[in-house]
Amino acid sequence: MHRIVILGAGTGGTLVANRLRKAFTTDQASITCVDQNDRHVYQPGLLFVPFGLTHPEDIIRPRGKQLHDGVDYWLAAVDRVDLEARCVHLVDGGALTYDVLIVATGAVLAPEETEGLTGPGWMERVFTFYTPEGASALEAALATFDGGRLVVNVVEMPIKCPVAPIEFCFLADWYFRERGIRERVDMTYVTPLDAAFTKPIAAKHLGGMLEERSIELVTEFNTGEVDGVGGRLISYDEREVPFDLAVVIPAHNGAAYVAKSPGLGDALGFVLTDEHTLQSVASPNVFALGDAAGLPVSKAGSVTDFEGEVLVENVQHFLAGEPLDASYDGHANCFIETGFSKAMMIDFNYEVEPQTGHYPGVVGLPLLKESHLNHLGKLMFQWFYWHSLLPGRNIPGIHSAMPLAGKQREGEQREEEAHS
Amino acid sequence: MSVETIGGVELELNDEGFLTDPSQWNEDIAVELARREGIGPLTDRHWQIIRFMRSEYETKGSGPSVRMLGKTSGVPIKELYELFPKGPAKLAAKIAGIPKPRGCI
């Protein structure tokens, strides 16, 4: 019998455990899923907490309940992985041996790596909405914020859900308008990138949307220090951005045990992974997906879901001694909440950047365009997440490989603009 | 995209000024690319980073981010900004003749 061990019972670990449980009978394979706590956070929901649109208790469920019968669930912290001995050492002294290991322990926030960020002012005038606790504390701070300088800062890429900080700006603009105090708030988006976003077409759209909302954009700003007392972000090249309230997205690392396991990860603790097969570069019987994988893709739930489909097939190929399927194409998509009950959608992969058009086909959700339909899609997605994505059901029309039908390439788009 | 002659070699540069073919790179080209960015003369510390960028690219297929450079290159982040102002990862990659680090999104 094959022993499959999955580290992490978040999005990737859960959906892979459930899909593998369907793929193998209990006589063929044992599946063990390990996590260090029993709080499964629907992370896309965190964005809405600061604005009182949802609450932490509505987006957190027990991890164990999301796993199908027949998946062993262990509540334990991982100390390190011994790739040669094919053994996971746990902090409590226990150990788990495996035939196949799947790393799905996500990314962790590293606010302590930025000077001053967790010092005086942290959780008082400097917040992050990337944790349930931070998002709740920010909700209280926003409720009593009557005007001044609000700064939203991404310390360094990669971060989870790279569009979330921009969505936060759009929602804050909406929130202050609803409260009738928008003109008393100066908003600034401060990014280490050279534009509002990484991919050129989407960066142009999103940059324009910040401008329309009078949100100042500061680019190529690498935060070296946060002065919570003086209210200043200070870059490594000694530029300063003043604030009364700062929303900071800290640098991210992989799980600490990855960096402690020789060969498994890079210097930040992200697993060195083949970008098409999702197999570890260090060891053929190790695979990784989701935020834990060091791939040039967004750290996002949709990516994890698309990766999961390919990974589950490859675990089966590997255990059968067959060649792996190198078909993960970097497919990612996400809804971008833009305020006023509207949202945009972007869909892209390793080769094709976000474009206009529709998803998943010629008829579908509008891409790179604000619409109420996308907002409804974003709201509905939470239901799909718990009831369809985690259980490992296929959503009709949504596949791992990125669809090209429905997309307008840039040249066609220009032509269309010229005609209109 | 533009084609330019640097150090007697015809080179293709993309819209952001990065070499499209990293294999064409040599140290003379680095000196000229650095000069265009207002950096020079190149010191041993500059070369340490430029060589590190090239070896990272050759083994991993992409240049490292600033934080990764700070952790692995032996040069602290503060000094990286003195050597390659504004964006050390991007600027050092450009001078090292490798593509813009894609580590993000």
**pLDDT tens digits, one per residue of B73-96:** 999 988 999 999 878 888 999 999
Query: A371-401 burial by CB neighbour count: b if 16+ within 10 A, else e?
Result: beebbebbbebbeebeebbbebeeeeebebe
Place B103 in a pLDDT band, splitting at 50, 70 and 90. low
The pLDDT assigned to A123 comes to 96
- In the predicted model, what is the mean pLDDT of chain A? 93
The token duo for A302 is 């949709």
Which residues on adjacent β-strands are paired with residue A218?
A190
Place B66 in a pLDDT band, splitting at 50, 70 and 90. confident
The token duo for A286 is 């190790």
Q: For residue A153, which of A90, A97, A227 has the smallest C-alpha distance?
A: A227
For the entire predicted model, the pTM comes to 0.91
- Inter-chain CB pairs, A–B, below 8 Å: 50
Gap between the Cα atoms of A389 and A380, Å rounded: 12
**B85, closest residue in chain A (CA to CA):** A237
- Would residue A37 be called left, alpha or beta, if left means φ above 0 and alpha means ψ between -120 and 50 degrees? beta
Distance from CA of B81 to the nearest CA of A (A): 6
Domain boundaries, chain A: 2-106+255-319, 111-251, 334-419
The pLDDT assigned to A410 comes to 58
Q: Do A268 and B90 touch (CB under 8 A)?
A: no
User: Is B104 known to be catalytic?
Assistant: yes
**Element housing A147 (H / E):** none
Instruction: Name the CATH topology of A2-106+255-319.
Output: FAD/NAD(P)-binding domain (3.50.50)
Gap between the Cα atoms of A388 and A383, Å rounded: 8
Measured between CB atoms, which of A198, A224, A267 is closest to B104? A198
| Residue A212 exposed, middle or buried by CB count within 10 Å (0-12, 13-18, 19+) | exposed
Q: Is A224 on the interface with B (CB under 8 A)?
A: yes
- CA max distance for chain B: 37
User: Is the distance from CB of A2 to CB of A28 less than 8 angstroms?
Assistant: yes
**pLDDT tens digits, one per residue of A380-395:** 889 889 999 999 987 7
Domains and CATH numbers, chain B: 2-95 (1.10.10.370)
Instruction: Please list the alpha-helical segments (H only) found in A320-409.
Output: 372-384
Q: Strand A185-190 vs strand A148-154: parallel, antiparallel, or unpaired?
A: parallel
Q: Do B103 and A158 touch (CB under 8 A)?
A: yes
**A224, closest residue in chain B (CA to CA):** B78
Gap between the Cα atoms of A232 and A241, Å rounded: 6
Distance from CA of B5 to the nearest CA of A (A): 27
The pLDDT assigned to A57 comes to 95
Q: Is A195 on the interface with B (CB under 8 A)?
A: no
Q: Do B90 and A194 touch (CB under 8 A)?
A: yes
**pLDDT tens digits, one per residue of A179-207:** 999 999 999 999 998 899 888 888 999 99
What average pLDDT does range A297-316 have in this prediction? 95
Q: Is A197 on the interface with B (CB under 8 A)?
A: yes
**A281, closest residue in chain B (CA to CA):** B60
Distance from CA of B8 to the nearest CA of A (A): 31
**What is the interface pTM, i.e. ipTM, of the complex?**
0.77
Residues 6+ away with beta carbon under 8 Å from B47: none
What average pLDDT does range A127-138 have in this prediction? 98
**B60, closest residue in chain A (CA to CA):** A272
Give the strands of the sheet with A215-218, arranged side by side. Answer: A126-127, A245-249, A148-154, A185-190, A215-218
Helix (H, G, I), strand (E, B) or coil at A246: strand
Query: A298-312 burial by CB neighbour count: b if 16+ within 10 A, else e?
Result: bbbbbbbbbbbbbbb
Gap between the Cα atoms of A39 and A21, Å rounded: 22
Q: Cβ atoms within 10 A of the Cβ of A254, count? A: 25
Place A420 in a pLDDT band, splitting at 50, 70 and 90. very low
Q: Is A389 on the interface with B (CB under 8 A)?
A: no
Percent of chain A with pLDDT over 70: 97
Radius of gyration from C-alpha coordinates of chain B: 13
CATH code at A111-251: 3.50.50.60
Q: Do A267 and B78 touch (CB under 8 A)?
A: no
